Structure 1
Amino acid sequence: MPKLAPSDAAQPVIRPLTQAAMFLVLTVEDGGEAAVRELVPELTALVRAVGFGRPDARLACVTGFGSAVWDRLFGGPRPAELHPFVALDGPQHRAPSTPGDILLHLRAETHDACYDFADLVLTRLGGAVKIVDEVHGWRYKDVRDLLGFVDGTENPEGVEAVDTALVDAERDPGFVGGSYVIVQKYLHDMTAWNALTDHEQELVIGRTKAGNVQLPDAQLPKTSHVDRNTVVGPDGEEQDIFRANMPFGSFKDGEFGTYFIGYCATPAVTEQMLRNMFLGDEDGNRDRILDFSTAVTGGLFFVPPTSFLDDPPPAPGAAPPAPSPPPAATARPTDGSLGIGSLKRS
């Protein structure tokens, strides 16, 4: 049987933006591993069950696992580039690394579909996990963030999206169709941001606010978000990630921000973007958006292919299943019968 292509093997990573999203980051309590392992093979069926009566909701769930919990849940090989999120301490701004064993990225056209799926999963897991972060995102205007700019403009499409976001056989043959995802919760200082003129905001972002057009190179500041997020590979080609960011906000808590979520076939690209933003280049150019947006969480997860979820490897340390004994040999009849019930030749 031919091997699946990455796009056929993948969880629903490459999907159009929906009206609603929910981001849940969980830690697995000591002794909770068995409950998590029991649930993992049922995740695909639970999505179908919740979404069956409301196909227009387009419910999708992407499940990722952090480095620390991987070896607690699964025996056998690890994804080649899975490691903890690396905190960054820049001269002015910091990207923290925060706890997280499991990421559930839920997307749907209606928020109730996300809610019902999360309710099923969390009820099943009970005390086996602890919720350490929960963000409810929603589509804002014409796909803008709360800063007023269109988000995700440079997302690759089609074959390029597959090449960007999904692991292929050359990179890691044991995890074709998987993806590395980095998440960060950013809180915006809306008072300070709104004190800027539109032109000043455009210089921070690197795009026009109304038309969503990238500023000409001659006018693009080295401290702009566009410039700091541009990563060029050894071959001179620009390297991309697949973003599924969502705005969120709470008037009660006074928190307004963007939940950053970036998928890539290797975490190295997203990590270089973050270094460009927080640490800057040799000339000290850092991302000026960080003067208005503060990262308060940071996590790195591996999203395994669907075949891995549906049939996970044995638990770590578990003995491999004993091979089935060969079928017993059947003696050939010597009485002239065919050996089928009581049928015999006359």
Structure 2
Amino acid sequence: MPEPQAVLAPLTESAVFLTLVVEPGGEAAVHDLLPDAGGMIRSVGFRMPEEGLTCVLGIGSDAWDRLFAGPRPAHLHPFREVTGERHHAPATPGDLFLHIRARRTYPCFELARRIVAAFGPAARVADEVQGFRYFDRRDLLGFVDGTENPTGRAAAEAVLVGDEDPDFAGGSYLMVQKYLHDLDAWSAMSVEDRELTIGRRMLDDVELDDATKPADSHVALTTIEEPDGTERRILRDNMPFGSIAGGEYGTFFAGYAADPAVTEEMLTRMVVGDPPGSSDRILEVSRAVTGGLFFTPSADLLDDPPPLPQRAERAPAAPAAERLAVPTMDRADLGIGGLRTPR
């Protein structure tokens, strides 16, 4: 199997989530940068190996057709917004997605700054979230997040595309959403009501038994099982974020899967309910404000990407004074490589 990007990297203390839009005419510049991005990771991460700096780059459905000629990932499509009786999960603009992780924030910041500077006028940042690890891996609602993540071989099987789509083996589908929490409403709830909303006990993170756990709890609605009882898994790398001045507090959801249908079914069950009308209790205090679906190609594909479509045009270079300051690096300095874990 081709070498994946760092989708299976361990959970970290810090992350930067960047959603970018490729400007008209910027396709060639973005395409040219893809093989160089791995060198940027190494140039930042080599000096601080203890930080575990990684970056995963995802490409949206519309951007894929603008950047590459030839076949496309079998299940890549625009994010499908979901509307229920009382809740809504919107689709928002996004052509590229950067999931940057490290132990501390500053390596994430430096790598994000370098990549965005290299894109220059070819792409603009549509959304930025700086995530942080909160207490003992809890979200801002007080519950441990990611408890049921698969590990080892099970994680690779759940997350990585295999022989079912051989041209894109080693890739993964990434769904992202930014959720904002009403912490005042949440704080006004009793601990028992909070536990019934999530489907777990707060203190010890133990899942409630089936007799106690409501059918419209978050855990119940996001547990997807095959007819034979096999649970369909995804890999969550959610992180809390917040702004004291802005009064925004939330969770950034990042879910990797070998088939986006699994994550999409979870979201539909949350918003619409199963049966319809029994939507996820968590949506009473938490609402999605962004939504995107991206394919994260293998590192090998990013090293040697498919050619540009013939219709793609090159954008004019920005005047030097308008470019973000970044250390001068030529192609030899950056190195040639995909978005891999630093070595």
TM-score by length of 2: 0.89
CA–CA separation in structure 2 for the residues paired with 1:15 and 1:210:
27
Match of 2:44 in 1: 50
Gaps of 5+ in 1: 320-346
CA–CA separation in structure 1 for the residues paired with 2:169 and 2:31:
21
> What secondary structure is seen at the aligned counterpart in 2 of 1:82?
coil
Alignment of 1:62 onto 2:56: yes
Match of 1:108 in 2: 102
Number of equivalences = 312
Q: 1:318 to 1:97 in 2, by over 3 A?
A: closer
Match of 1:298 in 2: 291
Q: CA deviation digits over 1:324-343, x for unaligned, max 9?
A: xxxxxxxxxxxxxxxxxxxx
Match of 1:82 in 2: 76
Alignment of 1:125 onto 2:119: yes
| Residue 76 of structure 1, CA deviation | 1.1
Name the aligned partner's letter for residue 281 of structure 1: D
Match of 1:260 among 226, 235, 253: 253
| Residue 284 of structure 1, CA deviation | 2.7
| Residue 282 of structure 1, CA deviation | 2.5
CA–CA separation in structure 2 for the residues paired with 1:55 and 1:91:
49
Match of 2:19 among 19, 25, 45: 25
CA–CA separation in structure 1 for the residues paired with 2:311 and 2:274:
48
Match of 1:139 among 110, 122, 133: 133
> What secondary structure is seen at the aligned counterpart in 2 of 1:144?
coil
| Residue 112 of structure 1, CA deviation | 0.7
| Residue 30 of structure 1, CA deviation | 0.3
Name the aligned partner's letter for residue 309 of structure 2: P
Alignment of 1:247 onto 2:240: yes
Q: 1:310 to 1:318 in 2, by over 3 A?
A: farther
Name the aligned partner's letter for residue 9 of structure 2: R
Match of 2:175 among 171, 182, 193: 182
Match of 1:148 among 120, 142, 149: 142
> What secondary structure is seen at the aligned counterpart in 2 of 1:187?
strand
> What secondary structure is seen at the aligned counterpart in 1 of 2:114?
helix
| Residue 234 of structure 1, CA deviation | 4.2
Query: Which runs of 4 or more aligned residues in structure 1 lie more than 3 Å from their structure 2 counterparts after TM superposition?
Result: none
Match of 2:309 in 1: 316
CA–CA separation in structure 2 for the residues paired with 1:235 and 1:216:
21
8 Å Cα contact 2:45-2:53 kept in structure 1: yes
RMSD: 1.2
Alignment of 1:233 onto 2:226: yes
Alignment of 1:93 onto 2:98: no
> What secondary structure is seen at the aligned counterpart in 2 of 1:124?
helix
Q: CA deviation digits over 1:137-185, x for unaligned, max 9?
A: 000000000000000000000110000000011x201111100000000
TM-score by length of 1: 0.89
CA–CA separation in structure 2 for the residues paired with 1:283 and 1:117:
44
Name the aligned partner's letter for residue 200 of structure 1: D
Q: Identity of aligned pairs, percent?
A: 54
